Amino acid sequence: MKRFILSTLAIILFVPFGVIADQGMWLPMLIGKYNIEDMQSKGFKLTAEDVYSINQPSIKDAIVIFGRGCTGELISPEGLLITNHHCGYGVIQSHSSVEHDYLTHGFWAMTRQEELHNPGLTVRFLVRMDDVTERVLSAIPDGAGEQVRDSIVGVVGHKITEEATSDNHYTARVMPMFYGNQYFLFIYEEFLDVRLVGAPPSDIGKFGGDTDNWMWPRHTGDFSLFRIYADKDNNPAAYSPDNVPYTPKRFLPISLKGVNPGDFTMVYGYPGSTQQYASSQAVAHVVDDLNPLNISLRDARLKVMEQHMRQSDTVRIKYASKQAGVANAWKKWIGERNGLIRLDAIEKKQQLEKNFEEWVNESPIRVEEYGHLLNSFDELYATRKPLSIAASLSREAFYAVELLQLVRQFGGLLNNVDNSKLSEEQYSRLIDYTRDFYKNYHKPIDVEIFTTMMSQLSDILPPALTPLALEELKPENSDDWYAIALGVYSQSVFADSTALISMLADSTSSRINVLQNDIMYRLSNQFDSIYSASVYPSLRDINSKLDLLYRTYVKGLMQMNPNAVYYPDANFTLRVTYGKIEGYFPSDGKEYMHQATLDGIAEKSRLDVYDYTVPQRLLDLYETKDYGKWEVNGTIPVTFLASNHTSGGNSGSPVINAEGHLVGVNFDRVWEGTMSDIMFDPDMCRNISIDIRYALFIIDKYASAGHLLEEMTLIE
C-alpha cells in the first residue's frame, strides 16, 4: 500500500504542464522536475537551481519567515529586509506613544544606531527541505489505527529532526503533505536580533484601511523595513549592541523596469493554509454556517471598536492592531462566501464526488478501499457541525471579550495548583502579563463587547454548553445586558489593573480565593470546563477521522485522474507560485486594469472617507510633481495585480520577475478571489502587490532616507 502511494504521487507530479492555469503552491525543491519547463515557457529566464539549491546560494536564501505569520525578503548585502507594513504593524505600534506616534507619522532610522530593537521578533531562513516519506511511512505497520499511526509519525518525525539538528544551531520540523501521503523535513536557521529600520505613516502603509481591504483598485504603500543582525561570525545571536548587520547568502536585486500585462511573475513565500481538497459537506458548512456566524459576530465587535477609536487618539493607537486583525478575517470571510456561491463550489464538489463514486463502483477492489468514503463524510460532517459552531462561538464570541482572554492566562495556573498555592515567581509572571495586557486595553470597549457577546451566547448556546455563571447573570429582559455588564466589570478584580496588581503582589492576601471566586474567573473556568469535556475532545476525534478519510480520498482522486495536476495544500512551508501580470473582470461591464497609481491616491483624498486621509507631504509631492527618478508617464506606479495563487502567510512575499529581480511585495488578494483557499478561479483570483518603485519613491522623496537606497542593487 505504501509503495502505491509513492508511485501514484510520482505519476501525478510528472503530468504534462500544458494544462496548468496560474494555480498551485509548489514545493521549491521539486520545481526542477515538475515546474521549470512550464515556468520557462511562460517567460522565466532562470534555472531551478537559481530558485532552490542546497549546493549554492539561491533565491530561497533571500526569503524568510518574518515573525510568526508573514514572509520577508533580503534586499541588500547588509541584512536589510522588506516586508509588509501590516506584518510589522505590531512592532511599530509597540514603539509608538502619543509623544512618538510612529503609526501616524512613520519612522525612519537615519543611522544604524537609530534602528530599534524588537524583543521577541525573529526571522527564519529555510536551510533545506528533504523528502522523508519513505522513512516515515515504512515505520507504520499495515492496519495500524489512526492513534497508533499518529504516535509512530510523531516518534519518527522527532528522531528525524533530532538527527538534522544534533550538531548545529538549526531547528527542524517534519510536515505532512496530501494529508499524510507524503512527509517533508524542513530545516531552518533562526535569527533573534531583528531591528526596525523604516516604516511609512499609516496613512501610506495602511492607506484605504478597512474601506479598501481585499479590494481593487488599491493604493496602499504596504511595506516596512527591518535589518537582521548577527554576531561577528554572522551567526544568530540574542540582541546585543555588539551585533553587526547580517551578511546574507543571497539578496534580491531590485528592478526599476516595472511591470506590463503578460509579464511573468513568481511569488516565493509561506502561504498559511488552504483546503483545495475539501469535500462538498465541508464547503457547505463554510458557506451556510460558519462564515455567516463569524461575519455577524466580528461585525458587532468592529462597530464598537471603531466608535471608540474615532473619539480618542490614545484609544486609536491602542486598538489599531487589534481592529485591523478583527477586520481582516471579517472581510475575507464575506468575499470567500460570495465567491464560493458564485462558483457553484458546492455543486462542483458534489459532481466530483459523483464521478468518484461511479469510478469506485467499477471495481470491487476500489469499493473495498474507497467505497465507504462519501457516506463517512456525510456522517462525520453532520456530527461535526454543532461542535464546529460551538468552537466558533468560543473563539468569536466568548473569547472576543478581552478580559476573559486575560482571565484565561490565570486559569492555566490556578487550575493546576497543588494545595492551592502559587509560587511568588508565578505571581510575578502574572503581574508582568497583566501589565502588558493593560497597555493596550480600553475598558469601555470591552464592556460593550461583553454586552453583545454574552447576549448572543445566552440566546444561542444550548443548556448543556451554557456556564452556570452565565445563566445566573442572564436578565429577564435582554435589553438589560449592558447594565449586567457594568455590574460585572465593577465587581471583577480583573477589570481594575491597579487592584489586581496590588493584590497579586500582596503575599498576605487571600489571592487564590479572591481570583477563584471572581465572576470573570468563574465564567471562564466553567466555560472551559464544559468545552473541554463536551466539545473539544469530540471535535478532535472527528477531525482525526476526517484526516484519515481525506488521506484516502486524495489518494483515490490521484488514482482516478492520473493526468490531473495536484499540489499539496499550503501549511506555512516555503512555496513557489507563478502567474502573470493581468487585470480582471469582476462583473458584467466592469474591467479592472493591472496598475494603480499615485493619481488614484490624490483622487481618493478628495472623498469624505475616513480611510482616505493622505499625509500633506505626499500631497505636496503630488501637486508639484516632485517625483525624481521614480516618475513613470507623469505619475508614480503604486500597486499592481497578478494571477499568482497566494494565501495568508504570503503577506510580505517577494514578487519576482523573469530575471529574478524584485518588482513588488505581495500584500493582499482581490475580494472576489478570496475563495481561492478552497477553490481557485483563474479568471477572478488576483494577488495585489505594492510596486517596488512606490516603496523606493517613499523612502527617497517622502522620507529623505536615500541612504537606504545606496545599499540596494537597483537594475535600471
The set of catalytic residues is 86, 222, 651
3-class secondary-structure state, position 261: coil
Question: How far, in Å, CA of 371 to CA of 365, rounded?
Answer: 9
- The single residue listed with the C-alpha cell 530561497 is 60
3-class secondary-structure state, position 534: helix
Question: What is the phi/psi pair of residue 150, to 5°?
Answer: -60, -40
Q: Which cell numbers hold the place of 199?
A: 516604516
Residue among 269, 226, 192 nearest 90 (CA): 226
Q: What's the longest Cα–Cα distance across the chain?
A: 77
Interstrand relation of 80-83 and 116-117 (parallel, antiparallel or unpaired): unpaired
Residue 7: alpha-carbon gap to chain centroid: 33
3-class secondary-structure state, position 173: strand
3-class secondary-structure state, position 36: helix
Residues with Cβ within 8 Å of residue 351, at least 6 apart in sequence? none
Residue among 76, 61, 65 nearest 250 (CA): 61
3-class secondary-structure state, position 191: strand
3-class secondary-structure state, position 182: strand
Question: How far, in Å, CA of 230 to CA of 78, rounded?
Answer: 11
Q: CA torsion sign, 348 to 353 to 356 to 361?
A: negative
CB contact at 8 A, 72 and 82: yes
DSSP 373: H
Alpha helices of 196-312 — where are they, by DSSP H? 202-205, 209-212, 280-285, 291-311
Q: How far is CA 378 from CA 293, 374, 383, in A?
A: 22, 6, 9
Residue among 103, 74, 78, 100 nearest 88 (CA): 103
Question: How far, in Å, CA of 651 to CA of 71, rounded?
Answer: 6
Q: CA torsion sign, 446 to 450 to 451 to 456?
A: positive
Interstrand relation of 254-255 and 714-715 (parallel, antiparallel or unpaired): parallel
Q: Output the CA angle 319-120-301, nearest 5 degrees.
A: 20
Strand-pair partners of 186:
129, 173
Total number of residues shown for the chain:
716
Prior bond of 586 cis (ω within 30°): no
Residue 584: alpha-carbon gap to chain centroid: 25
